[in-house]
Chain A
């Protein structure tokens, strides 16, 4: 139980925060931030633990968002079934992209480039195809009732994302403590050495990208369900690929709390930037970029690592 205790504490703290978030704006901001955290948990598994940096997690996010919306809007699929289907679709996209790229031995910059290209291909296709509603996008019919996975007000959504984020944290911890997790990190650190120890590197990377895609897909499906609308640039645009990687890196790469800490911090920074610079488009993302560079430059282990070191120093100073 010990390894999961910190997760329970963080989940309770989140719950307290959520129950205090009475204003719609605050709840809304928290929902988006935690959806991004969820997408970040997906990225963190493959990028943080596995060392495979994807620049195209939008492919998974978007596939799930579209499947969720299109299944409901066009085929009248039940919202919950659509949600499950959407997550499965993201995992499937993960299998395909992962199999093609890892089989071809792509890593490092090459892997980043090809994931980016796959996401862009999907964006162009979604923007042109009929089934996705083309450039107009797809609307999910408004029908606020729990049986349609739609709710009045922001609060219920907030609780749902919080539960999912908690599950993502638990899953991350479970991976950390499993053979699969050890193999994944070994592949990140030194693939040749890992293979000599019996690690099937291709298989490990494939498993990682599937779980990664499913988690990010969960975020995409939830996003569609929350806003009841998707179009190509929301679903497959570069913004979500960037947010999904910025959150864990800023928060703490390859850690259980990194994506959550990072997503909340980035959200906070974004709000602060708005307060200072007004709603000029671009300021927020420019800040993201600067923060990304800064974290890589001075705090390899992210904000979480900074905090840990800060408290360790304090304790050492006090002793």
Chain B
């Protein structure tokens, strides 16, 4: 029976999941908006971050504690990956970027596979099954935390882009590459910072995901297509679009899972993705990249 309570629970569940999707998508869309490239290694970096959080937990560090340091570490890794590998290797050609990031994703995923095997791992925390009450509804505590963290990161990112020097530089490069160079901005540095920010978002996403989800070397694949869908839906390059798109996809997935069952729910994501690409390649909100 579909009571209003069950529906409401599904919506809330969708919103909390969707917030984490948004967190994953926001880095992807940021990189697209600034570098005009699609980073196919996005999912693999997420998987790597989840493994990092997993092993931190094995050494007694709670994911929520590991969140900040991991974000810093992944910022550095992302910066280095763009500055040392993706940038130089692609010679400024979009087609090459596609291949280089695909290559990177294959390397990362399979190194994880070689190192940790394809076993599925998850962590046991004291709060893993805790819930909080929200009127008539019970919401999983870690998911509520994930929701809060995602919103905080989204707002921080927005403030960063609008009020800091580096944020302004990023926006300048996104608009007008040549012009930015003329006013003394160093685009390779800005590109790398953008990539670093994207990786940092993934590290944060990994830390809020781990208490409620499992990790294996291919876990990123499950998210990356969803993230792509959100990015396309929200308009490639639009951060607000990614946040709203993430919540929307989360709710759609949750509701279609409730109404259609799980495996078809997965299909739904792909179909939405294909339809959006075919019908509204500029995204539902009409943002142009």
Q: Do chains A and B touch in the complex (CB under 8 A)?
A: yes
Q: A114-B274, A280-B114, A297-B89 are in contact. Are A286 and B266 (CB under 8 A)?
A: no
Q: Which of chain A's residues have a CB closer than 8 A to the CB of B85?
A: 293
Q: Determine if A53 is an interface residue (Cβ-Cβ < 8 Å).
A: yes
The interface bits of chain B over 93-106 (1 if a CB of A lies within 8 angstroms of the residue's CB, else 0) are 01110111011111
Q: Which of chain A's residues have a CB closer than 8 A to the CB of B99?
A: 53, 245, 249, 292-293, 296
Q: A117-B274, A121-B271, A282-B113 are in contact. Are A297 and B107 (CB under 8 A)?
A: no
Q: Nearest Cβ distance between residue B7 and chain A, in whole angstroms?
A: 26
Q: Nearest Cβ distance between residue B69 and chain A, in whole angstroms?
A: 27
Q: Are A117 and B270 in touch, CB under 8 angstroms?
A: yes
- CB closest residue in chain B, given A292: B103
Q: Are A120 and B94 in touch, CB under 8 angstroms?
A: no
For chain A, residues 101 to 160, give those with C-beta under 8 angstroms from any C-beta of chain B: 101, 104-106, 108-110, 112-114, 116-118, 120-121, 124-125, 128
| A280 and B111 alpha carbons, distance in the complex (Å) | 10
Q: Are B103 and A289 in touch, CB under 8 angstroms?
A: yes
Q: Are B270 and A289 in touch, CB under 8 angstroms?
A: no
For chain B, residues 69 to 104, give those with C-beta under 8 angstroms from any C-beta of chain A: 85, 88-91, 94-96, 98-100, 102-104
- Contacts between the two chains (Cβ within 8 Å), count: 124
Q: Determine if B128 is an interface residue (Cβ-Cβ < 8 Å).
A: no
- CB closest residue in chain B, given A119: B270
Q: Nearest Cβ distance between residue A169 and chain B, in whole angstroms?
A: 23
Q: Are B98 and A124 in touch, CB under 8 angstroms?
A: no
Sorting the interface of chain A by its residue count into under 10, 10 to 19, 20 to 34 or 35 or more gives 35 or more
| A100 and B277 alpha carbons, distance in the complex (Å) | 10
Q: Determine if B267 is an interface residue (Cβ-Cβ < 8 Å).
A: yes
Q: Nearest Cβ distance between residue B31 and chain A, in whole angstroms?
A: 11
Q: List 26 A-B contacts (CB under 8 A).
A: A51-B95, A55-B102, A104-B279, A109-B98, A110-B281, A112-B98, A113-B38, A113-B228, A113-B273, A120-B225, A128-B263, A242-B102, A242-B106, A245-B99, A282-B111, A285-B106, A285-B109, A289-B108, A289-B110, A290-B107, A291-B103, A292-B99, A292-B106, A293-B103, A297-B100, A300-B91
